[in-house]
Amino acid sequence: MPQEILFAPRRMYETVRRKGRPPERPLRECAMKLRILIADDHDMVRETLAMFLGADGTVQTTAAHDLPEALAKMRSEGPFDLVLLDYSMPGMKGLDGLRTAIAAHGGNPVGLISGTASRLIADQALEMGAAGFLPKTMSAKSLVNAVRFMAAGEIYAPVGFMSGKEDPEETDFEKVLSDRERQVLRGLMHAQSNKEIARDLDLQEVTIKLHVKTLCRKLDAKNRTDAAMIARDAGFV
């Protein structure tokens, strides 16, 4: 098992697991210009992350809207000091997308960001070789510290989240939906067609059509657009 140490940037303790070798760059050298690829299908999330990371002028960010675009940029513009992937964006298919990205980045750091993934998912991602897991609820300062740490060759995850103290409770809205139905519903909220959702989840289009029908029944929605609006009003992400 890798050694686990505690790193405390001022008020917030973080869990950091060392890889089998020391980082290629000392932490103090992380002030040099870093190239970070941020892949997330939400424009506001990408832009906010880029703003936080680029505030002091030492980080250069590149954006991607989904996994295929991220993989293309890794081939054409990489390697990056760090790649950050949103767990729920199109093309990820759960942790399969993370596994693909890690292989494609040739041993360079790939981290996972999410506003919905559970502690179990985060732990599985780390076991697969992810450079770290970043909840989207992190403060700007903690986020920047985490990115620099991962880019330096360390593995990062917040202690509070990994210990379960920050796990969000499942809402009544979510309890009536299966995991697959939640995935399909997120596709509806992103205005994806059945064909696009089927491609992202590696399912048949007819299967997605059945899930949409079930979602409309469970949510008492008139159609797919109404289902997406109901989900947004309920705070589902």
Residue 12: band (very low, low, confident or very high) from pLDDT cuts 50, 70, 90: very low
Reported as a single tens digit per residue, the pLDDT across 72-114 is 999 999 899 999 999 988 898 888 999 999 999 999 999 999 8
Q: What is the pLDDT of residue 30?
A: 42
pLDDT(166) > 80: no
Instruction: Provide the number of structural domains found in the chain.
Output: 2
pLDDT for position 102: 96
The per-residue pLDDT for 143 is 84
Please check whether residues 113 and 78 belong to one and the same domain.
yes
Task: Give me the pLDDT at residue 82, please.
Answer: 96
Shared domain check, 179 and 113: no
Q: What is the CATH number of the domain that holds 180?
A: 1.10.10.10
User: Does the residue 167 lie in any domain?
Assistant: no
In the chain, pLDDT over 90 holds for what percent of residues?
39
User: Looking at residues 136-150, what average pLDDT do you find?
Assistant: 84
Instruction: Mark whether 152 and 186 lie in a shared domain.
Output: no
208 falls in which pLDDT band (50, 70, 90)? very high
Is the pLDDT assigned to residue 14 strictly greater than 80? Answer: no
Q: C-alpha dihedral over 20, 24, 30, 36, to 10 degrees?
A: -80
Q: How far apart are CA 235 and CA 237, in angstroms?
A: 6
Give 8's pLDDT tier (boundaries 50, 70, 90): very low
Do 142 and 210 lie in a common domain? no
d(CA 192, CA 184): 9
Residues 207 and 134 in one domain: no
Q: For position 80, what pLDDT does the model report?
A: 96
Report how far residue 131's alpha carbon sits from residue 156's, in angstroms, rounded to the nearest whole number. Answer: 7
Q: Which of 162, 186, 217 is the last residue of a domain?
A: 162
212 is in which domain, residue-wise? 172-233
144 plus 228 within the same structural domain:
no
| 9 band by pLDDT with thresholds 50, 70 and 90 | very low
Among 128, 125, 133, CA closest to 150 = 133
DSSP reduced 3-state for 123: helix
- Whether residues 137 and 198 share a domain: the answer is no
Contact 121, 144 (CB under 8 A): no
Residues 180 and 147 in one domain: no
**Same domain (yes/no): 119, 144:** yes
pLDDT value at 136 more than 50? yes
For residues 22 and 113, membership in a common domain is answered with: yes
Query: What pTM does this model have?
Result: 0.60
Residue 75 lies in a domain: yes
The reply to whether 125 and 179 lie within a common domain is no
